[in-house]
């Protein structure tokens, strides 16, 4: 009789252990899912900020190149203007070479226009850098709002 009771109870015991094996206990609560999601968003924003800073550095390098070109163009324009001016000042004497004077004036004008174009490119590049900086500031403000206030640790 005892054998039958054990045989009768054995399937129930096995059924209970199988049922317990299939239950799932979450290690992450619903609140912590929100915290983890906020952390992920904060990381994405941080990544975007770093990418914008890299872009800003590239733009600033381009500004430096354009600054050097602008200084070079300004030097050439000053030299051309000085040569043209000294040649015109020398026209008061009897040695007047009109073709050379025209040539120097034309070169001075060309160098001045090149200098103006270099200045425009330089200013345009500076505005591009300022635009990237404003994007960085906007993203940093967003990041300030997304920082999770709860620290969650797994055990």
Lowest mean pLDDT among 10-14, 46-50, 78-82, 122-126: 10-14
pLDDT score at 126: 95
Burial 25-59 (b: 16+ CB within 10 A, else e): eeeeeeeeeebeebbebbeebeeebeebeeebeeb
pLDDT for 128: 94
72 pLDDT tier (thresholds 50, 70, 90)? very high
pTM of the shown model: 0.64
List pLDDT tens digits, range 57-69: 999 999 999 999 9
Domain ranges in the chain are 55-149
- What does the pLDDT look like over 81-94, one tens digit per residue? 888 888 777 666 65
pLDDT (tens digit, 9 = 90+) per residue, 141-151? 888 776 655 55
Q: Which residue has the higher pLDDT, 123 or 46?
A: 123
Distance CA 107, CA 136 (A): 43
Q: Which pLDDT score is estimated for 97? A: 74
CB neighbours (10 Å) of residue 70? 21
Kindly tell me if the per-residue pLDDT of 115 is higher than 90.
Answer: yes
């Amino acid at each position: 009789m005892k054998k039958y009771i054990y045989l009768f109870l054995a399937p129930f015991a096995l059924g209970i252990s199988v049922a317990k094996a299939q239950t799932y206990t979450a290690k992450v609560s619903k609140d912590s899912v929100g915290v983890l999601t906020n952390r992920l968003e904060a990381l994405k924003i941080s990544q975007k900020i770093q990418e914008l800073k890299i872009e800003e550095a590239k733009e600033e390098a381009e500004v430096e190149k354009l600054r050097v070109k602008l200084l070079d163009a300004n030097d050439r324009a000053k030299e051309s203007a000085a040569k043209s001016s000294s040649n015109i000042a020398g026209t008061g004497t009897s040695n007047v070479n009109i073709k050379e004077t025209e040539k120097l004036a034309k070169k001075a004008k060309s160098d001045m226009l090149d200098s103006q174009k270099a200045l425009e490119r330089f200013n345009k590049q500076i505005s591009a850098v300022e635009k990237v900086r404003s994007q960085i500031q906007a993203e940093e403000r967003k990041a300030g709002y997304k920082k999770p206030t709860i620290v969650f640790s797994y055990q």
